[in-house]
């Protein structure tokens, strides 16, 4: 039976030194030209020395016109290859793998970046006015996205990253194409699942061709997007099978979108997506474990699950089940960079759930359980901002600020985001 300390050999021949992975978390640390900086080096060196066998970067975007947030690293003719090499060197200092997550936000592109994002169809993202109404992509723009994913993957390999992950989850562009809610096209890119999955599979095949057969290629995929009429678990099982046929090395299962993140009633890694109405699921550490077992039955490849894991016992139990091969950790590493080593060396048998102890911006009625949608959203953003602020502290060589309140974090976060957006040299026109 597998345990977190065991190595894992992938289809391409690469071997992860253990079964713990730092899941992708957006960093927001790029310079005005959207390039990596010394803060990436500091942060990822700390994580590399922290014990995880695999580190996956936050969103590296393929197009400077469309970002998930200001501060994203972008590879789009803007230079910065030497900075990428320095990032890769620091991020593999501990003998671990460092994979670049490649992404396009689609309609989930902040107004601070562009007033009119791209999407499969012009379906508005309903989230307190933070996003512009998207424009439906042309066939030429879709083909351009495929080329961009392949180009960024090639640059990742050339600059020292040891693998790539194609982001097909959380409501970003590839995930938008998968969902009937956001993909209402009637051409070869829309309609039946085979057409809706066409862009994801085309990107994966183009990436594989760009990096070769001996380089890890992973995909992050929603188990479901938790929206009525959206991407379902049955869809996920089918797409997972197609991805295996396309030759991926690792499939990471997550779930949800910006509109249905499921963190309003439950907190966890990089978007807590427990299924509504199932209290047992919300209490369970690995709230995607049930989905993973179903998906694995139709997938049959290496599977990574991120979300909710805190105890070594639960991690080892999940690995021993045979359905899960890699355990993804997110938010604990925003506070304790060496959290994986603590588990691997048996210095600790459980990681703290930092989100459970956060100080809210005000009295209880302002919290996530508030009946007022705006107040719920503000506290969710405050909680997210709290973890973003911890990443900034770690990237600057400081310790996490554990006394920071979510209200203070929210103010600092938006101030930082606006400052980064103003400093960007690429302006929306």
Predicted pLDDT at 358: 61
CA–CA separation, 152 vs 217, rounded Å? 13
Q: Are 106 and 118 in contact (CB under 8 A)?
A: yes
The whole-number pLDDT of residue 256 equals 60
Q: What is the pLDDT of residue 258?
A: 61
pTM recorded for the entire structure: 0.92
CB 231 within 8 A of CB 224: yes
Residue 1 pLDDT:
80
The pLDDT assigned to 260 comes to 55
End-to-end CA distance of the chain: 56
pLDDT by 10-residue block (mean), the chain, 429 residues: 95 98 97 98 98 98 96 97 98 98 95 93 81 94 98 98 96 96 96 98 98 98 78 92 97 73 39 37 60 90 92 93 94 95 96 66 48 71 90 97 89 92 78
Residue 359's alpha-carbon distances to 261, 327, 379, 405, in angstroms, are 21, 28, 10, 5
CATH class of the region 8-357? alpha beta
Nearest one of 229, 79, 60 to 149, comparing CA atoms? 60
9-18 CB burial, b ≥16 within 10 A, e <16: ebebebebbb
What are the start-end ranges of the E strands in 104-201? 118-119, 135-136, 163-168
Report domain extents, the chain: 8-357
Please say whether the beta carbons of 15 and 9 come within 8 A.
Answer: yes
Contact 253, 303 (CB under 8 A): yes
pLDDT, position 228: 74
For residue 395, how many other CB atoms are within 10 A of its CB? 20
């Amino acid at each position: 039976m597998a345990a977190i300390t065991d190595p894992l050999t992938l289809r391409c021949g690469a071997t992860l030194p253990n079964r713990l992975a730092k899941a992708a978390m957006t960093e927001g640390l790029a310079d005005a030209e959207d390039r990596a900086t010394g803060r990436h080096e500091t942060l990822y060196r700390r994580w590399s020395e922290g014990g995880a066998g695999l580190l996956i970067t936050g969103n590296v975007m393929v197009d400077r016109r469309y970002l998930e947030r200001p501060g994203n690293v972008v590879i789009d003719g803007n230079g910065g290859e030497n900075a990428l090499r320095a990032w890769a060197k620091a991020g593999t200092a501990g003998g671990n793998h460092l994979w670049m997550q490649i992404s396009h936000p689609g309609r989930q592109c902040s107004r601070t970046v562009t007033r009119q994002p791209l999407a499969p169809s012009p379906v508005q993202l309903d989230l307190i006015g933070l996003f512009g109404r998207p424009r439906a992509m042309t066939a030429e723009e879709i083909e351009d996205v495929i080329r961009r994913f392949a180009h960024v993957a090639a640059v990742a390999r050339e600059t020292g990253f040891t693998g790539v992950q194609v982001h097909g989850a959380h409501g970003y562009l590839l995930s938008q194409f998968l969902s009937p809610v956001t993909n209402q096209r009637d051409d070869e890119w829309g309609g039946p699942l085979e057409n809706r999955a066409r862009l994801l599979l085309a990107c994966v095949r183009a990436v594989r061709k760009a990096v070769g057969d001996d380089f890890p290629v992973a995909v992050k995929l929603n188990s479901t997007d938790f929206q009525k009429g959206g991407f379902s678990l049955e869809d996920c099982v089918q797409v997972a099978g197609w991805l295996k046929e396309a030759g991926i090395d690792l499939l990471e299962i997550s779930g949800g979108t910006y509109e249905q993140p499921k963190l309003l009633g439950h907190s966890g890694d990089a978007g807590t997506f427990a299924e509504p109405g199932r209290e047992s699921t919300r209490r369970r550490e690995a709230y995607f474990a049930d989905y993973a077992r179903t998906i694995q039955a139709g997938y049959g490849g290496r599977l990574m699950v991120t979300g909710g894991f805190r105890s070594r016992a639960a991690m080892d139990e999940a690995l021993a089940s045979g359905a899960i091969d890699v355990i993804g950790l997110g938010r604990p590493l925003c506070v304790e960079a060496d959290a994986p080593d603590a588990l691997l060396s048996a210095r600790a048998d459980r990681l703290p759930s930092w989100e459970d102890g956060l100080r809210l911006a005000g009295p209880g009625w302002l919290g996530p359980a508030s009946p007022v949608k705006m107040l719920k959203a503000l506290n969710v953003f405050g909680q997210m901002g709290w973890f973003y602020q911890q990443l900034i502290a770690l990237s600057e060589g400081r310790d996490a600020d554990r006394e920071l309140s979510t209200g203070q974090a929210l103010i600092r976060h938006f101030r930082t985001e606006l400052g980064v957006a103003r400093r960007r040299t690429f302006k929306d026109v």
